[in-house]
């Protein structure tokens, strides 16, 4: 099991890193809502290795059998690799490559809100967003949020994969 988790975990980590960097390079100038869709898509694509890792373990290392619990564990461990990949790249990006990301994001989102919301709603939404951004802190927190998001999506995909692939 360890070899499978490491092998497919590294694949997932590399895919997460490459896709994150590609999204950063190719999505410049695109609205933040579109960037968000691209970001979640890259997360799901990098987590496809959860399914393939479980399937590989079942078919190649465990004589065609796997329990739901074992499949879930393998998928979750692979997801941790992808989460680390996204978290590290996010930290590097927000700490060194673009340390002004939080201010740019805030400015971009408030501009979108101003264009789409009535004045009174805009002021309250802007104040709430500014408070939220202040609470988030620095690059470490952003990286942790990215890690946690990827791992949670990975957990969901692990559950689905375990349900599909379990065999006794």
- Cβ burial 101-114 (10 Å sphere, 16+ → b, else e): ebeebbeebbeeee
Per DSSP, 95 falls in state I
The answer to whether the CB of 112 falls within 8 A of the CB of 36 is: no
pLDDT in tens, 96-109: 988 888 888 888 88
- What per-residue confidence (pLDDT) applies to 113? 85
Backbone angles phi, psi at 74, to 5 degrees: -60, -45
pLDDT in tens, 99-149: 888 888 888 888 888 888 888 888 888 888 888 888 877 889 989 999 999
63 pLDDT tier (thresholds 50, 70, 90):
very high
Boundaries of domain holding 132: 2-165
pLDDT in tens, 66-90: 999 999 999 999 999 999 999 999 9
**Cα 82 from Cα 52, distance rounded (Å):** 14
pLDDT in tens, 14-61: 999 998 888 888 877 787 788 888 889 999 999 999 999 999 999 999
> How many domains are contained in the chain?
1
| pTM for this predicted structure | 0.86
């Amino acid at each position: 099991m360890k070899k499978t988790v490491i092998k497919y975990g590294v694949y997932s980590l590399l895919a997460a890193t490459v896709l994150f960097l590609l999204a950063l390079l190719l999505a410049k100038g695109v609205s933040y809502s579109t960037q968000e869709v691209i970001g979640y898509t890259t997360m799901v694509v990098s987590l496809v290795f959860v399914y393939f890792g479980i399937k590989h373990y079942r078919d190649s290392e465990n004589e065609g059998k796997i329990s739901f619990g074992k499949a879930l564990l393998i998928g979750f461990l692979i997801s941790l690799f992808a989460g680390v990949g996204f978290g590290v790249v996010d930290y590097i990006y927000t700490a060194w490559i673009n340390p002004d990301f939080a201010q740019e994001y805030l400015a971009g989102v408030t501009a979108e809100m101003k264009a789409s919301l009535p004045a009174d709603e805009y002021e309250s939404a802007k104040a709430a967003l500014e408070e939220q951004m202040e609470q988030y802190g620095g690059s470490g927190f952003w990286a942790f949020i990215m890690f946690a998001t990827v791992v949670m999506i990975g957990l969901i995909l692990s559950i689905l994969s375990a349900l599909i692939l379990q065999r006794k």
